[in-house]
Amino acid sequence: MARQNILVIEDEGDILELVTLNLTREGWRVIGATTGEEGLEAAREEAPDLVVLDLMLPGIDGLEVCKALRADARTRAVPIVILTAKGEESDVVQGLEFGADDYVTKPFSPKVLVARIRSVMRRKAQASEAGEGVLKARDLVVHPGRHEVLVRGEPVELTAGEFRLLQFLARRPGWVFTRRQIVQAVRGDGYPATERAVDVQIFGLRRKLGEAEEYIETVRGVGYRFRE
């Protein structure tokens, strides 16, 4: 099996060295970048399997890098693990909204970072192996392979997190899921997301779906479900 590439965008040299050392020991090939601009260029040229991203970067900050990666068809599906000292709830929510797959705060344990990376990669592999087909509900189409959502034939631009959330609900129409179940299914066990973060993401998803927002139903006191 070919070695997987991980792009680490981190401006602090000692942390970049520490992360590189630990990821290399695990068998991954590490590509380093110290600015947002360098990171975006490396992501487009190297096609990494995952990105570890600091938020506080010189020039383009980490959130803008995350947003740019999700807006580019070449990097839209690449998993992103944010590694940062900004650990307030608002920062976590903002990171999720910009499309991050996981969130690790500094100071951090290299073992925890490695475990989070493995978890994100495992979820990605499981989704690919599942071979999930196109999901259709009248005028809404979700195409997992193309990472594409259409409403009445028109494409809808979603973040990676919003796409996974919609896909998760649409695969089980009629089933009601609590916010915690949604976090575990979409993000993984132990993910530092709150119920408020799920509500914020649902709100953003509905807004982007426009008339198709009716497919995502709030079940008062429980959570959410997809209805046809």
What domains can be seen in the chain, in order of their start residue?
A: 5-129 (3.40.50.2300), 131-226 (1.10.10.10)
Q: What is the pLDDT of residue 193?
A: 55
Whether 188 has a pLDDT exceeding 60, the answer reads: no
Q: Residue 89: pLDDT above 70?
A: no
Mean pLDDT for all residues in the chain: 85
Burial of 69 from C-beta contacts in 10 A (0-12 / 13-18 / 19+): buried
Q: Which two tokens stand for residue 152?
A: 């009445």
Residue 146 — pLDDT band, cuts 50, 70, 90?
confident
Q: What is the mean pLDDT of residues 203-213?
A: 92
Through-space distance between the first and last CA atoms of the chain, rounded to whole angstroms: 42
Question: Which strands form 102-105's sheet, in the order they lie side by side?
Answer: 29-33, 5-9, 50-53, 80-84, 102-105
Q: Give the residue-averaged pLDDT of 150-174.
A: 87
- Are 140 and 150 contacting, i.e. CB atoms less than 8 angstroms apart? yes
- The whole-angstrom separation of Cα 118 and Cα 218 is 33
How far is it, in rounded angstroms, from Cα 21 to Cα 74?
Answer: 27
CA distances (Å), origin 52, targets 32, 111, 130, 142 = 10, 14, 25, 28
Q: What is the pLDDT of residues 14-30, one digit of tens each?
A: 999 999 999 999 999 99
Cβ neighbour number for residue 15 with a 10 Å cutoff: 17
Under 8 Å CB-to-CB from 90, ≥6 apart: which residues? none
Per-residue model confidence (pLDDT) at position 131: 47
CB 165 within 8 A of CB 204: no
pLDDT confidence bin for 122, thresholds 50/70/90 = confident
Strands 29-33 and 5-9, sheet pairing: parallel
Instruction: Identify the pLDDT of residue 147.
Output: 78
What's residue 194's pLDDT?
66
Segment among 10-19, 35-44, 125-134, 160-169 with least mean pLDDT: 125-134
Integer Cα distance of 178 and 51 in angstroms: 29
Short-list 186, 156, 154, CA closest to 169: 186
Which residues have CB under 8 Å from 168's CB, separation 6+?
177, 182, 185, 186
Does pLDDT of 148 surpass 90? no
For residues 52 and 22, the answer to whether their CB atoms sit within 8 Å is: no
Q: Taking the model in full, what pTM does it have?
A: 0.61
